[in-house]
C-alpha cells in the first residue's frame, strides 16, 4: 500500500546507527556500518525493518501474528528479530500481513489467516516485486506477470469475479506490468508502456476513472499525460508520481489527503499543490507523504491527535507541509497513522500514532515530530 514504498530513486549506501531516541536528525550519528538497515515497511499497527544481512526485525501490534513470533502481550514496543526468517531481500506490509521475499526467490508470509510465524507461499519463479494491499498479496515477475492471493471482495484482482484466492493465482487481465500497488480492496498497476490500470473498490473515486463505480476488471486511466513512474494505493485515496517530479491524487479527501487545498473528493487525478522534485510517494489511511530529491519529507492530510504529519501540530493540512527535523532521507513508508523514514547514514526515524509501540521507541507515546529509533 503501499504500502510498499515505491521509490523513483536509486538507494544510497547506508551506514547503520545506534543510540538513544533523538528528536533532531541533524544531531544523530551512526556508530557501525557492519549491518545497516536497507528497507522499511509499515502496516496498520506494526512495522518491519530489513537489515543488510537479510535479517528482519518487527515491532508493534501482535494479536494476529503480525510480528512473526510469539510475544508475552499483544504488542512489542521495540525492534525484535524474527527468529525463523533470514536471507530476506524485500519486505512489505498490509493491514496485518507481512510478506518477505528471500534471496532464493521464495515468498513467505505471516500475520494473517492465523499464520503467526513465517510460512512459505506457492513457488513463483523470477519474482521481482512484491506488495500487499489490505489483505491481498501481490507478486510481480520480471516478465511483467502479476499474481495475487487473498481477499477479492471488490474485484481487486481484476479477473471479473469477487471470489477470493487462497493461493497465488495469475491475474490474467494484467500483463507487461512494471509497478503494482495494492490498496484497501483495490489495485493500481503501471504497464511497460506507461499506461495506468485500476480495478476494485471505487466508492470514493480512488481508481481515478472519473466514476465511483467498482471495477472487477482493470480499466485504463486515460486522462493522464506525462510519464508515470510510481503509484501508491491507500485506503480510499491514491497518489501517482510523474517523471517530472510532480504528484497527482484522487479519491477520498475529507481531511485533505489529496493535497490540493480542498476537502472535496475527486474521481480523477489532480496535481498536489506546491510540491515538486519528488522521488517517492506513500499513502496512509487518510494522509500522504512524499520524499523530495533533496532528502526532505513532506506530508498532508489528517493529522489527528497523534501528530501523523510530523510537523509538531495536530491540525489537518490541506496542502503539503515539511516534516520537522528530517534531512538526507532516502526511504519513506506509511500505512495507518504512523510513518517511518531512513536516512543516508542508516538512521531510522518514526512519528505519529504509537498506541501499540509501532514506532519502535520502547514506548506507547505518540510522536508529533520524528524520533530516532535505536537498534
Predicted TM-score (pTM) of this structure:
0.92
Which three three-digit cell numbers place residue 353? 500514532
> Residue 340 in contact with residue 40, Cβ under 8 Å?
yes
> Residue 173 in contact with residue 217, Cβ under 8 Å?
yes
> Residue 44 in contact with residue 265, Cβ under 8 Å?
no
Coil, strand or helix at 252: coil
Chain centroid offset of residue 292 CA: 17
Q: Per-residue b/e over 320-338, b at no fewer than 16 CB within 10 Å?
A: bbebbbbeebbbbbbbbbb
pLDDT at 34 (0 to 100): 81
Average pLDDT of the residues of the chain:
92
| pLDDT average, residue stretch 201-215 | 98
pLDDT at 72 (0 to 100): 87
Q: How far, in Å, CA of 343 to CA of 330, rounded?
A: 5
Nearest to 206 by CA among 167, 215, 125: 215
| pLDDT average, residue stretch 200-224 | 97
| pLDDT average, residue stretch 173-192 | 98
End-to-end Cα separation, the chain, in angstroms? 26
Sign of CA dihedral 205, 141, 348, 290: negative
DSSP, res 98: E
Would you put residue 113 in left (φ > 0), alpha (ψ -120 to 50) or beta?
left
Q: How far, in Å, CA of 211 to CA of 219, rounded?
A: 11
pLDDT-derived band at 1, boundaries 50, 70, 90 = low
Give the class (CATH, top level) of 6-373: mainly beta
| pLDDT average, residue stretch 9-14 | 34
Task: List the single range of 12-26, 59-73, 167-181, 326-340 with lowest mean pLDDT.
Answer: 12-26
> Residue 66 in contact with residue 36, Cβ under 8 Å?
no
Nearest to 238 by CA among 188, 274, 195: 188
Counts for the chain of helices (H) and strands (E), in that order: 0, 29
| pLDDT average, residue stretch 158-171 | 98
| pLDDT average, residue stretch 16-37 | 46
In sequence order, the 6+-apart residues with CB closer than 8 A to the CB of 27 are none
| pLDDT average, residue stretch 16-45 | 60
Nearest-5° angle of CA 182, CA 309, CA 14? Answer: 70
Task: List the single range of 26-30, 121-125, 258-262, 369-373 with lowest mean pLDDT.
Answer: 26-30
Q: pLDDT for 93-133, tens place per residue?
A: 999 999 999 999 999 999 998 999 999 999 999 999 999 99
In sequence order, the 6+-apart residues with CB closer than 8 A to the CB of 253 are 237, 260, 262, 263, 264, 265, 266
Q: Residue 81's beta-bridge partner residues?
A: 57
| pLDDT average, residue stretch 322-350 | 97
| pLDDT average, residue stretch 280-294 | 98
Q: What residue ranges do the domains of the chain occupy?
A: 6-373
pLDDT at 36 (0 to 100): 95
| pLDDT average, residue stretch 278-282 | 98
> Residue 308 in contact with residue 282, Cβ under 8 Å?
no
Q: pLDDT for 67-101, tens place per residue?
A: 999 998 899 999 999 999 999 999 999 999 999 99
Nearest-5° angle of CA 80, CA 331, CA 288? Answer: 100
Nearest-5° angle of CA 131, CA 132, CA 138? Answer: 60
Query: For a pLDDT cut of 90, what percent of the chain falls above it?
Result: 89
Amino acid at each position: 500500500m503501499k504500502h510498499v514504498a515505491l521509490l523513483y530513486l536509486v538507494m544510497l549506501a547506508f551506514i547503520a546507527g545506534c543510540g538513544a531516541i533523538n528528536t533532531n536528525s541533524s544531531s544523530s550519528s551512526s556508530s557501525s556500518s557492519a549491518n545497516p538497515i536497507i528497507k522499511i515497511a509499515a502496516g496498520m499497527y506494526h512495522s518491519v525493518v530489513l537489515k543488510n544481512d537479510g535479517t528482519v526485525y518487527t515491532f508493534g501490534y501482535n494479536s494476529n501474528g503480525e510480528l512473526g513470533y510469539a510475544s508475552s502481550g499483544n504488542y512489542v514496543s521495540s525492534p525484535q528479530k524474527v527468529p525463523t526468517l533470514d536471507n530476506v531481500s524485500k519486505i512489505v506490509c498490509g493491514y496485518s500481513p507481512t510478506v518477505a521475499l528471500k534471496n532464493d526467490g521464495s515468498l513467505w508470509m505471516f500475520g494473517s489467516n492465523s499464520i503467526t510465524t513465517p510460512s512459505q507461499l506457492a513457488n513463483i519463479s523470477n519474482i521481482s516485486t512484491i506488495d500487499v494491499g489490505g489483505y491481498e498479496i501481490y507478486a510481480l515477475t520480471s516478465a511483467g506477470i502479476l499474481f495475487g492471493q487473498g481477499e477479492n471482495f471488490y474485484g481487486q484482482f481484476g479477473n471479473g469475479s469477487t471470489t477470493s484466492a487462497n493461493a497465488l493465482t495469475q491475474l490474467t487481465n494484467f500483463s507487461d506490468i512494471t509497478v503494482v500497488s495494492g490498496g484497501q480492496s483495490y489495485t493500481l498497476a503501471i504497464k511497460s508502456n506507461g499506461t495506468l490500470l485500476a480495478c476494485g473498490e471505487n466508492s470514493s473515486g480512488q481508481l481515478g476513472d472519473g466514476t465511483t463505480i467498482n471495477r472487477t476488471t482493470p480499466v485504463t486511466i486515460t486522462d493522464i499525460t506525462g510519464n508515470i513512474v510510481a503509484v501508491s494505493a491507500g485506503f480510499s485515496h491514491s497518489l501517482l508520481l510523474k517523471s517530472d517530479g510532480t504528484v497527482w491524487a484522487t479519491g477520498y479527501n475529507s481531511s485533505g489527503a489529496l493535497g490540493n487545498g480542498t476537502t472535496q473528493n475527486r474521481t480523477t487525478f489532480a496535481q498536489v499543490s506546491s510540491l515538486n522534485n519528488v522521488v517517492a510517494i506513500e499513502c496512509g489511511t487518510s494522509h500522504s507523504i512524499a520524499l523530495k530529491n533533496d532528502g526532505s519529507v513532506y506530508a498532508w492530510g489528517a493529522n489527528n491527535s497523534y501528530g501523523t504529519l510530523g510537523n509538531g501540530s495536530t491540525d489537518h493540512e490541506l496542502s503539503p507541509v515539511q516534516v520537522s527535523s528530517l534531512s538526507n532521507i532516502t526511504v519513506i513508508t506509511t500505512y495507518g497513522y504512523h510513518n517511518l523514514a531512513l536516512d543516508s547514514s542508516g538512521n531510522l526515524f518514526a512519528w505519529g500514532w504509537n498506541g501499540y509501540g509501532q514506532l519502535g521507541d520502547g514506548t506507547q507515546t505518540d510522536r508529533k515530530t520524528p524520533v530516532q529509533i535505536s537498534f
